[in-house]
Chain A
Amino acid sequence: MTTVRRMGGRGGIAPPWMFAVPALLVYALVMLYPSIVGAGSAFTDWSGVGEERSFVGLENFQQLLHDDQALGALRNTLLLTVAIVVVQNGLGLLLALGVHTTIKSRMVLRVIFFAPVVVSPVMVSFLWKYVYNPAPDAGLNAALGAVGLGALRQDWLGNPSLAIWSVAFTVIWQCAGYSMVIFLAGLEGVPPELHESAMVDGAGTVARFRHITWPLLAPAVTINVMLSTVGGLTLFTQIIAMTNGGPGYATDTLSTVLYKQAFVFGKFGYSTAVALVLAIFVAAVSFVQIGYLRKRETAA
């Protein structure tokens, strides 16, 4: 162990480089090196197998601009992301407000709403695939029939107009509890005295939420919006397990398209071009979001 001790930040004695080296090595080996090599193939026509590959410059990126399937997938990705961000967090907030009260079942309810978060998305997808069974006597359709709403029965995953929302709902069902606990943590940070004095001033529930709770929840909103946005933009497993992008192209996302380009169409170069664009897109969205939301936090 090195004995060189120099002063680090905040008045501490800086630890030696050796502390960072193992992590850096593993990180470079598993993420940096493969990603750089992979990004390189975005400029080639490599099929993914064999030696043959040649440099094609920006051709893959130009192709992307005219690829109906990729553009449709981009549209689906954005729709899914917006739906997930809005509904998951809206629901998460309502659940958090509901269990952040004196109701007797509050602890049990927290556990129930959070439980799906710890289960594998593959298994949740299979569960919902059964729930969405198109037969009138199974799953959700059977439940609708049982409560007299038989007219609302649907082919949940088979109807191209509906499938994307069915997938979104599965994700929301699984993740709303996640949003809830982050909002709960925020709610617990709101000093009760603020509410008490506001009540003395005669402020109603809605007014107190708007002027006290909501501004103080800003950091929780930031985290929730960021997490659900990245999750929505990179959604993959649930779609592959539930619809495989279908019917037609109705639920293809950028992640499933780049997977199919690489493994089904044998266009690895093009696939990594899509992956690169997705990475830059996610980074840009996160960056803009964090800038805006942080500003909102400090303004509050």
Chain B
Amino acid sequence: MRTPYRPRTFVLELVMVAVAVAFLFPVYALVTLAFKDPGQIANAPLSPPNPPSVDSFGTAWQSASLGSALLNSTLITVTSVVALIVLGSLAAYFLARRASRLSYSLYILFLVGIILPFQLGMIPLYQLVNDLGLLGTYQGMILFYTGIQLPFTVFLYTGFIRSLPADYTNAALIDGASHLQAFRHVIFPLLRPITGTVLILNAVHIWNDFFTPLLYLGGSGRETVPVRIFAFVNEYTSDYGLVAAGLVLAALPILIIFLLLQRYVIRGFSSGLKG
């Protein structure tokens, strides 16, 4: 329905831009706050900062230890997502391609995980992670995210693989390749679109998760960005400028990645869920 640009379209354009301006108001309030010194905040809370002050950013970066938090978050997110892609795609390939009652039950078993609230197993899992000596470690968090996000990942991959014709692998297998070789060289490349979705959805979820890292990493020195920023905000609540600067800094990395990869991210969010 690509109609030409008409006066009506112009009116719509104005309306939509107005909506976007209202939508962005909280962001404007936050960003201007971050660039003001306390005097400006008290006297002119909403006007643009004049002159802008960047002092808060340095202090916030230091006090919230955001540098190391970014490294922690990156390490945990990247490793967990890789593990999810490998384990999830292999399992889904099996579940989609083996037609037995057992494999169907297994598929259902995985789906159950999508609706289980994590609170149910929270304390027993915590005990388990502790018994394994993984409390306060990256490995503990990676294990947790891999397990907790597998049902969703398996669900996405299985749906996608079912819609693929089976001939490709058969040809490869008949050529004498092992199952693993066939999967790696033939199937996995075909999964690229859904792998993109799996990557984006899991990465965003893991990067932003808050409660479990608070529980598992609190006090370990390996806290992720949301945990550090939570501590930081609670400590400096009444210092609006500093809190705002901390929030801006903490949100910036993921927003920059989003802006660079916006097309893929939006596609990832909208396409994978057509299950």
Contacts and interface: CB of A to CB of B under 8 A. Distances in A.
A and B touch in the complex (CB under 8 A): yes
Interface of A: 1-3, 5, 8-17, 19-20, 22-24, 26-27, 29-39, 41, 48, 95, 98-105, 109-115, 117-123, 126-128, 130-131, 137-140, 142-143, 146, 173, 178, 181-182, 184-185, 190, 192, 195-196, 219, 223, 227, 230, 234, 236-237, 241, 255, 258-259, 262, 268, 271-272, 275-276, 278-279, 282-283, 286
Given A11-B166, A98-B16, A278-B117, A110 B266 contact: yes
Interface string B221-264: 00001100110010000001001100100110011001100100
B26 A128 contact: yes
Interface string B1-34: 1111100010011011101100111110110010
Given A5-B173, A103-B12, A130-B30, A258 B91 contact: no
A16 B178 CA distance: 11
21 contacts: A1-B179, A11-B170, A12-B97, A12-B169, A13-B97, A13-B173, A15-B183, A33-B124, A37-B124, A95-B19, A103-B12, A112-B20, A113-B20, A115-B258, A142-B45, A255-B117, A259-B119, A275-B119, A279-B116, A279-B117, A279-B120
Nearest 9 interchain pairs by C-beta: A30-B147, A34-B121, A12-B166, A9-B99, A23-B91, A34-B125, A120-B208, A19-B94, A37-B124
A173 B20 CA distance: 11
Interface string B176-211: 001110010000000000000000000010011011
Counting chain B CB atoms within 10 Å of each CB, which of A10, A95, A190 scores highest? A10
Interface of B: 1-5, 9, 12-13, 15-17, 19-20, 23-27, 29-30, 33, 45-46, 87-88, 90-91, 93-99, 103, 106, 109-110, 113, 115-117, 119-125, 128, 143-144, 146-148, 150-151, 154, 165-167, 169-170, 173, 178-180, 183, 204, 207-208, 210-211, 225-226, 229-230, 233, 240, 243-244, 247, 250-251, 254-255, 258-259, 262, 265-266, 269-271, 273-275
Given A31-B113, A103-B12, 7 more contacts: A1-B178, A19-B90, A35-B124, A101-B1, A118-B254, A123-B247, A127-B247
B173 A130 contact: no
A181 B2 contact: no
A173 B71 CA distance: 29
Contact of A118 (B183, B204, B271): B204
A117 B183 CA distance: 33
A15 B251 contact: no
